[in-house]
Chains A and B, each alone.
Chain A
């Protein structure tokens, strides 16, 4: 079945550092790919998405490119802030569109 694999956390960085969180997937067909973020005590918020190969999703300085050849959707940000500290989830939705399949989540800690 479809699955998502994310890098283990926590990831600890200093403010203004470059961020990469790796995400790879296994899916039949042409899934849509997502990054969601969960701040402490809150639900999930969509950060960005891409619906077809070579699409780049971007939001709030975060970017991710849908790479079909490497089945990857890595999250990047050029300069992180303390306020980016959260748990980040990579997810996919297959052809049916009726559910999201999630990675394990990566906790990001940014130190001032």
Chain B
């Protein structure tokens, strides 16, 4: 069974640009959640989707958005990038929600210069 796939693995963007990250969950999983990992703030929850509906959102500015498609693949978008957005972005897939068992991708390393 294929695992969670995140693309791209690495990104370098300039301040003010926007970026889209992609996550393909494990086949059959309907929940996708996103987390930001930084050395200073640790792991922080961004949002969670289930069957194309956002069920929960973390405390991030509106520049961070996401969506989920009918095949459960998910994207997150960050607009007007800031230096502080540099982080490892992790996606997790789960059959029903991250509170049961979450399977993580290897992450996308975003560097904003």
**A contact set with B: CB distance below 8 Å:** 32, 36, 41-46, 49, 89, 91, 93-94, 96-105
Contacts and interface: CB of A to CB of B under 8 A. Distances in A.
B104 A44 contact: yes
A102 B42 contact: yes
24 contacts: A36-B104, A41-B106, A42-B106, A43-B105, A44-B90, A46-B101, A49-B101, A93-B99, A97-B96, A97-B97, A97-B98, A98-B55, A98-B56, A98-B99, A100-B35, A100-B43, A100-B92, A100-B99, A101-B45, A102-B35, A103-B42, A104-B42, A105-B42, A105-B43
A45 to B, nearest CB: 7
Interface string B78-113: 000000000000101000111111111111000000
A76 to B, nearest CB: 21
Contacts of B107: 43
A92 to B, nearest CB: 9
Interface of B: 4, 33, 35, 42-45, 48, 50, 55-56, 58, 90, 92, 96-107
A98 B97 contact: yes
B58 to A, nearest CB: 7
A96 B98 contact: no
A96 B103 CA distance: 18
Nearest 4 Cβ contacts at the A-B interface: A93-B99, A97-B99, A43-B104, A98-B56
- Which of A42, A44, A49, A96: most chain B Cβ within 10 A? A44
B56 A100 contact: no
A49 B100 CA distance: 9
Contacts of A94: 99
A49 B103 CA distance: 13
A41 B88 CA distance: 10
Contacts of A46: 101-103
Given A43-B106, A91-B43, A100-B45, 12 more contacts: A43-B104, A44-B92, A45-B104, A46-B101, A89-B43, A93-B97, A93-B99, A97-B96, A97-B99, A98-B56, A102-B42, A105-B42
Given A43-B107, A96-B99, A97-B96, A102 B56 contact: no
